[in-house]
């Protein structure tokens, strides 16, 4: 039997931004529902170790995610995870979300906090070897490569920090990056450069993945000389940024050329009663701390909207 429930606020997405919004809104006595297509935690839960979130010198992404989830539920926030959204109507005064199981939830306001997904290299063999030598999550798959040789692709904070964390398992880690400089913070660069297990192939990119049942080797192109070389490898971890999860939202909301939701400083979108927070929003800095900030602001704005 299908159900239909009314809430003051629905939050789509249970990452740092969505969970923070849930904490603020439910504590303000708004009946609040978080809907998450997957396990709550967002990109946090894919992170092996977090060392720059205020108040914690060291905490795993899973631990921080579960702590936020528990706090939101303590204030009465209802959280439903591993669901699939079938239909979305956010234009009217009453917003509605229909799930694939037929259940319908309505609300006076909605916060879009659907986050982002790992970007692909989009080269030959990548789809074929996903899960068979190619990974986008060090936390999920790092221990599968204990004592083996792996490559990390990317030059930002995530790539360098995860490369260091992967040295706890791997025999060697080779960082392949398309530039001769890194976009990461200096601390992350120094940590990677000081690690004896880590080496670098710069000004280069992977142009192909090859193997049989499992990945065996990659083709690497030097972007300055166009020379192609082959490197035998046990696994490749790709950390080249994230794309905003707006595929189901594009027809409902104003987005920029990168597919990110456009908001003002109150996290309001172009649709009344609709707010956005976290990595799905058009902004420059994407960190857990900034997602938490977005979530708090979006929740306060939603509370004011509902009370009016």
The three-state (H, E, C) secondary structure of 252-282, written as one string: CCCECCCCCECCCCCCECCCCCEEECHHHEC
Per the listing, tokens 């913070």 go with 185
The three-state (H, E, C) secondary structure of 37-95, written as one string: CCCCCHHHHHCCCECCCCCCCCECHHHHHHHHHHHHHHCCCEEEECCCEEEEECCCCCE
Query: In the numeric block, which tokens belong to residue 245?
Result: 């999860």
* DSSP conformation class of 222: E
Please report how many Cα atoms fall inside a 13 Å half-sphere around the Cα of residue 252, on the Cβ side: 20
Task: Compute, in degrees rounded to 10, the torsion defined by CA atoms 122, 127, 133, 135.
Answer: 70
Active site residue 77: no
Active site residue 140: yes
Helix (H, G, I), strand (E, B) or coil at 74: helix
Between β-strands 149-153 and 4-12, what pairing exists: parallel, antiparallel or unpaired? unpaired
Active site residue 226: no
Q: Identify which of 236, 200, 185 has the alpha carbon closest to the alpha carbon of residue 215.
A: 236
C-beta of residue 35 within 8 angstroms of C-beta of residue 12: yes
Of the residues 8, 141, 234, 294, only one is catalytic, namely: 141
Of the residues 127, 140, 180, 264, only one is catalytic, namely: 140
Distance of alpha carbon 58 from alpha carbon 161, whole angstroms: 13
Of the residues 86, 89, 137, 149, only one is catalytic, namely: 137
Please report how many Cα atoms fall inside a 13 Å half-sphere around the Cα of residue 188, on the Cβ side: 20
Distance of alpha carbon 293 from alpha carbon 290, whole angstroms: 5
Q: Give the residue numbers annotated as catalytic, written as ranges.
A: 137, 140-141
């Amino acid at each position: 039997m299908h159900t239909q429930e009314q809430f003051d606020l629905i939050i789509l997405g249970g990452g740092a931004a969505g969970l923070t919004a849930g904490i603020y809104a439910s504590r303000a006595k708004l009946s609040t529902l978080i809907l998450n297509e997957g396990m709550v935690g967002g990109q946090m839960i894919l992170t092996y170790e977090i060392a720059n979130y205020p108040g914690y010198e060291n905490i795993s992404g899973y631990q921080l995610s579960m702590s936020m989830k528990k706090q939101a539920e303590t204030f009465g926030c209802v959280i439903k995870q591993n669901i699939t959204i079938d239909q979305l109507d956010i234009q009217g005064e009453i917003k509605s979300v229909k799930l694939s199981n037929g259940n319908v939830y309505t609300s006076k306001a909605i916060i879009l906090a659907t986050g982002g997904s790992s970007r692909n290299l989009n080269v030959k063999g990548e789809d074929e070897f996903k899960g068979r030598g190619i990974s986008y999550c060090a936390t999920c798959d790092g221990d599968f490569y204990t004592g083996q040789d792996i490559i990390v692709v990317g030059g930002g904070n995530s790539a360098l920090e995860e490369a260091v964390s992967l040295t706890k398992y791997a025999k060697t880690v080779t960082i392949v990056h398309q530039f001769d400089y890194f976009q990461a913070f200096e601390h992350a660069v120094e940590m990677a450069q000081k690690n004896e297990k880590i080496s670098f192939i710069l000004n280069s990119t992977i142009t192909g993945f090859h193997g049989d049942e499992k990945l065996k080797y990659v083709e690497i192109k030097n972007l300055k000389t166009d020379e192609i070389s082959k490197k035998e490898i046990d696994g490749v971890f790709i950390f080249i940024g994230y794309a905003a999860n707006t595929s189901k939202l594009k027809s409902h909301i104003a987005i920029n050329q990168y597919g990110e939701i456009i908001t003002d400083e109150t996290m309001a979108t172009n649709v009344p009663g609709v707010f956005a927070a976290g990595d799905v929003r058009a902004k420059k800095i994407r960190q857990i701390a900034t997602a938490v900030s977005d979530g708090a602001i979006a929740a306060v704005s939603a509370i004011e909207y509902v009370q009016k």
